[in-house]
Structure 1
């Protein structure tokens, strides 16, 4: 019951319908299983001007009540869809001129400052699941890997926190 009970789930919008000329920054949430992190990621995307959010088939539901609450309703504000072919849809984005930047702790990662300095006109930021991060097939398909330099003996941030930092650093 309530407002969300009557909300009719829509079929995923085809990716090709969402790639308009004004879509410059895209976030992909891959296998993020915590609804709180999904909601916080959407909130950061809305607050920091991300044009489109894509969730992979195994990502938690952005329309789950906890995701909606944590997002403060921004899941209804930011354009988004669930990808149907992952990571195949990443190739489609690259073919349309997007640079795919996977947020990952790898030996060949560039820093977030280096990514920001590139000023890529079309950018996809990919965030992986809590704990294990992105799978090797996603990392191999990405154009580059990016990490946020840490100090104080901390190796990484929570996925929603890293998304907010990356969204801020790469804003136009």
Structure 2
């Protein structure tokens, strides 16, 4: 690795970190496939463990030792800046030590992930990055084999999703599905029972559904407020619900994912 001290936020070497939304980063075509930002030493550690490649690293001097430890033996430029330059460059106070511009890996075909899975989570149009990150963390901790997301779902590699997930977006296999009903064809073709988690008349209690012993389950979750689309509900083999008490009708989608995954995995 090479350490390069930079005092000017306008330096062209820092272009990957300068006022770019993560949507813009996805469209950066040099290198081909786009970039994402890994924020903090823990997240970078997990990204490297998953085999992701580093393009460059931005660090303040007090965290230089962390960069040396993590990147030992790698041919990577490390740009050293002070706190003022880092904040002026990125647009926010950088207090997690390390930012790394990472090469975005190619997504695997959905059929490939499903072939090696028995319990998967499907996210339909969940646009809140915090919820996406929290669901990935639940998926990793509670044993889901993969996460599949709709075309309009928030990017799991957006820096806030990555941070909230504690880097588990790098350890849980994920890819994108097509729109319904094509997505149902992919899931059914791999032998999955599609279970839509929703408040609906005639919905089956989650514990009863889990007790019925479905062999391979695709748990479909929708956005806060709007919930699942009509197309998703029509594609489902079963609509399931979490029995609630205390006058509460539902949980936050991330909390609901954890409850459902625990019940399904436990059975």
TM-score (norm 2): 0.61
Matching residue of 2:111:
16
2:127 alignment partner in structure 1: 33
SS of alignment partner, residue 170 of structure 1: helix
Question: SS of the residue aligned with 1:7?
Answer: strand
Q: Report the equivalent of 2:39.
A: none
TM-aligned CA deviation for residue 118 of structure 1: 1.2
Return the match for 1:115 from 195, 209, 219. 209
Q: Provide the residue aligned with 2:256 in structure 1.
A: 162
TM-aligned CA deviation for residue 4 of structure 1: 5.9
Structure 2: how far apart are the matches of 1:127 and 1:59?
Answer: 11
Q: Once superposed, what is the RMSD of the aligned Cα atoms? A: 1.4
- Write the mapping of 1:69-80 to structure 2, written as runs, cut at 5 A: 69-80=163-174
Q: 1:56 to 1:4 in 2, by over 3 A?
A: farther
| Contact residue 111 and residue 190 of structure 2 kept, 8 A | no
Partner in structure 2 of residue 56 of structure 1: 150
- Work out the CA distance in 2 between the residues paired with 1:19 and 1:35: 24
Q: SS of 2:103's equivalent?
A: coil
User: Which fold has the larger relative contact order, with Cα–Cα distance below 8 Å and residues 6 or more apart in sequence?
Assistant: 1
Higher-Rg structure is: 2
Using the TM superposition, give the Cα deviation of residue 96 of structure 1 relative to its aligned residue in structure 2, in angstroms: 2.1
Unpaired segments ≥5 residues, structure 1: none
Q: Can you list the C-alpha shifts for 1:124-151, whole angstroms capped at 9, x where unaligned?
A: 0000011010001110111010000111
Distance 1:99 1:124 in 2: 6
SS at match of 2:148: strand
Unaligned stretches of 5+ residues in structure 2: 1-16, 18-56, 58-97
Q: Within 2, Cα distance between the matches of 1:11 and 1:89? A: 20
Q: Secondary structure at the match of 2:195?
A: strand
Is the 8 Å Cα contact of residues 121 and 148 (structure 2) preserved in structure 1? yes
Aligned counterpart, 1:97:
191
1:129, 1:25 → 2: CA distance?
Answer: 20
How much has 1:117 moved relative to structure 2? Answer: 0.3
Cα deviation for residue 5 of structure 1 reads 4.4
